[in-house]
Chain A
């Protein structure tokens, strides 16, 4: 191909006139294929721009300022990258990076944000939601009060209820207590027409639902008598609030005792003597979640043991799956093995089934009395595969090997193809043994592409929640510890036990703990990755 070419001028040929001289520098990428490649790019970028501009307009309309800012920035970047000469690598990176930025980094940022809040059970939403919830939860029906068939009526913008008291129709609104009206018609115990008011049918009620359920009509001038409200638009009950919110002072007051509840820094209304109202709301708590890790005695107990096992588990998982995967990849990379196509396909079977299903099956197979392993394979042995602290660890590693080797097998099979066969052949002719070729030629070459995968596989297993949770649930449990953790728990499952199972869900604490774990694993990964630099060519 190169032979046909005469010596080409290093600079790109002259512009066909449409391009400004400033642009003639650079890589000359569009010089020749202006018609096809450039047009394709033009159309694609135009499409992206159009979507972006449309998105900005829509986002402006719904006032999503975050999206507006992101789209505007993205548009500038995309257009600069694709029409600039300087940003050639960018042209290849931007699409993937944009997706990464939106979907992955958002999750990270959100987790980071939550780690500094008390988000979790009891602190689930905003303060206004909490006030509303407390108000509706503490409004109680006046004991012994009757069930009132209510007719919802409207006059202009004002809504009211009409009820029948002693055969007489009375109408009231939010401001006016019930008062008799003349000339109304009654059907049974329900008012059907009220002069001066329009009676709303079901459809009319359905259109103004929130206003109607929010309406409280005082029974009389004395507020202690309570007020009537309806939830379904046809039946009313007399209610009396036990706590009243005052927006001026931002406090709740108990109508019976007069006790006041004021908002606290931890996101609850709290009385003088420490009674908290639920729900609370989400507030920032600074580094509280992080410091709790070091102050909570429940976490310090088995912490070291669990940390050690986490590292052992992750490292051995990577080592075993990689060793088996690589071994099999090499074994079947020999063209003389007939049927290897089918062999290979069957080897990835464990990978093709849902992981939690496989974990359940393994759990059944490892059952000490009735499992296949003991009952059939070992002829009725009574080996406590999942209930002995050491055997449970072995079992977990074995099952993880079964689940994980196909991945390594696939990766190694692919990566092996980059190793030129003639080089290996030459070494063999030179008399190098099989192991020597593997150790000094195949492995180093393979490591170039596979090393980062091993690091990320380590990180994955470090946080392999599903396997532990499905197979042993962390058990066998330590006896009598103040938080339920066991011999096979790893850090992430311990976080789960502490933050979710022992009581309420504490997303803030869980986030903080998982960020701490991330810092540890991230550091290890970073160090490991720095080492791979030496393996890299160039």
Chain B
């Protein structure tokens, strides 16, 4: 059905094409230009070894890859790997735990369901002003018992991030789960499928778009997080990208903006690639799935 629609629309010409499709390209180009403009400063700074971030509007006066070469001698490579590992594990954990919770909220009626949902939302609002002291104290005590979940451990950091797995993302999934017709589970249940089978083999496949979105949001959020990470991780070899980059810009007077900018430019690449890759799941659509189900 989609194929024929595309074929038909390809035949649009002239005014009609502009009205239906063409203006969307204009919107895209204008918005993307607005997105990219400030980032050109970052790109320009990354190509200028001794320069400033916003000191001049003459961008790209010098093009020198020195900053990019410099990155690797300063542990950037291992930070990159750390960030990828931490963010991936956190994203997968968030999708699984959040998805499971959303399933429970969407498909079961139990006492305290409504108040737990509200509770989840309220917890997210709590100001994290003292988080840096509290998390430190917490991991200090946990580390006495489970050193691997304590300070200076990437697992410890992942565990802290998973503490936020049931958050606002759960609602996004919950709402999406609610749009999956219950008749599908009922039918499967009549077939003798257990709730676990329904969850793992039917529901999860149907809600793939939102799982991809939540996974991406969680990945990006973790990838850029440095406030908690710099409390937990203290050794440069354990740093995530965000922590390492933060250090380069932390001292205003000696901030190495060129290096920082180069690091930020490279760090944006996996995020964009991941989104490019996940899009096929995001826009695969529910209808395609439900027809098969």
Given contacts A347-B32, A354-B242, contact A455 B121 (CB under 8 A): yes
A203 contacts B by Cβ under 8 Å: no
Q: Is the CB of B24 within 8 A of A334?
A: yes
Instruction: Name A99-148 residues within 8 Å CB distance of B.
Output: 99-100, 102-108, 110-111, 114
- Give chain B residues whose Cβ lies under 8 Å from the Cβ of A343: 28, 32
A152 contacts B by Cβ under 8 Å: no
Q: Is the CB of A360 within 8 A of B53?
A: yes
* 26 A-B residue pairs with CB within 8 Å: A58-B145, A96-B101, A99-B162, A100-B165, A106-B138, A107-B128, A110-B130, A110-B137, A111-B129, A331-B27, A340-B28, A342-B276, A347-B35, A353-B42, A353-B267, A361-B39, A365-B38, A410-B216, A415-B172, A417-B285, A448-B178, A449-B175, A449-B179, A452-B172, A456-B167, A526-B121
Query: Which of the 9-residue segments A169-177, A230-238, A515-523 touches chain B?
Result: A515-523
Q: Is the CB of B104 within 8 A of A92?
A: yes
Residues of A that sit less than 8 Å from B by CB: 1-2, 5, 8, 27-33, 37, 51, 55, 58-59, 62, 64, 66-67, 88-93, 95-97, 99-100, 102-108, 110-111, 114, 328, 331-337, 339-358, 360-365, 367, 370-372, 375-376, 402, 407, 410-411, 413-415, 417-422, 445, 448-453, 455-456, 459, 463, 492, 495, 507, 510-511, 514-515, 517-518, 521-522, 525-526, 529, 533, 536-538
- Give chain A residues whose Cβ lies under 8 Å from the Cβ of B287: 420-422
A468 vs chain B, min Cβ distance (A) = 14
A64 vs chain B, min Cβ distance (A) = 6
Residues of B that sit less than 8 Å from A by CB: 2, 5-6, 9-10, 12, 20-21, 24-25, 27-28, 31-32, 34-39, 41-42, 53-55, 57, 97-98, 100-101, 103-105, 108, 110, 113-114, 116-118, 120-131, 133-135, 137-138, 141-142, 144-146, 159-160, 162-168, 170-176, 178-180, 187-188, 190-192, 194-197, 199, 209-210, 212-214, 216-217, 220, 224, 226, 242, 245-246, 249, 260-261, 264, 267-268, 271-272, 275-276, 279, 282-287, 290
The 6 closest A-B pairs by CB, nearest first: A449-B175, A364-B54, A103-B163, A414-B213, A92-B104, A452-B171
Q: For the complex, would chain B's binding face be called helix, strand, loop or mixed by DSSP majority?
A: helix
Given contacts A30-B194, A357-B264, contact A107 B39 (CB under 8 A): no
Query: Whose C-beta in chain A lies nearest to the C-beta of B241?
Result: A354
- Give chain B residues whose Cβ lies under 8 Å from the Cβ of A525: 121-122, 125
Which of A31, A55, A402 has a CB less than 8 Å from the CB of B146?
A: A55
A350 vs chain B, min Cβ distance (A) = 5
- Give chain B residues whose Cβ lies under 8 Å from the Cβ of A104: 123, 126, 163-164
Bound: A449/B125 CA distance, A: 18
Q: Is the CB of B190 within 8 A of A8?
A: yes
With A1-B187, A37-B197, A89-B105 already in contact, 7 other A-B pairs whose C-beta atoms are closer than 8 Å: A33-B194, A51-B146, A111-B130, A335-B2, A414-B209, A449-B174, A511-B130
Interface centre among B10, B35, B145, B174, by most chain A C-beta atoms within 10 angstroms, is B145
- Give chain B residues whose Cβ lies under 8 Å from the Cβ of A90: 104
Q: Is the CB of B28 within 8 A of A536?
A: no
- Give chain A residues whose Cβ lies under 8 Å from the Cβ of B130: 107, 110-111, 114, 507, 510-511
Which of B10, B100, B138, B194 has a CB less than 8 Å from the CB of A32?
A: B194
Bound: A189/B275 CA distance, A: 74
Which of A67, A97, A418, A517 has a CB less than 8 Å from the CB of B166?
A: A97
Query: Whose C-beta in chain B lies nearest to the C-beta of A500?
Result: B129
Query: Whose C-beta in chain B lies nearest to the C-beta of A364?
Result: B54
Q: Is the CB of B175 within 8 A of A415?
A: yes
Query: Whose C-beta in chain A lies nearest to the C-beta of B209?
Result: A417
Q: Is the CB of B6 within 8 A of A336?
A: yes
A161 vs chain B, min Cβ distance (A) = 36
Q: For the complex, would chain A's binding face be called helix, strand, loop or mixed by DSSP majority?
A: helix
Bound: A372/B37 CA distance, A: 10
Given contacts A114-B130, A351-B220, A410-B217, contact A402 B38 (CB under 8 A): yes
Q: Is the CB of B172 within 8 A of A449?
A: yes
- Give chain B residues whose Cβ lies under 8 Å from the Cβ of A515: 127
Bound: A376/B59 CA distance, A: 12
A193 vs chain B, min Cβ distance (A) = 44
Which of B20, B57, B97, B209 has a CB less than 8 Å from the CB of A370?
A: B57
Bound: A140/B253 CA distance, A: 38
B141 vs chain A, min Cβ distance (A) = 6
Q: Is the CB of A521 within 8 A of B125?
A: yes
Query: Whose C-beta in chain B lies nearest to the C-beta of A446?
Result: B175
Query: Whose C-beta in chain A lies nearest to the C-beta of B200?
Result: A37
Query: Whose C-beta in chain B lies nearest to the C-beta of A28?
Result: B194
A348 vs chain B, min Cβ distance (A) = 6
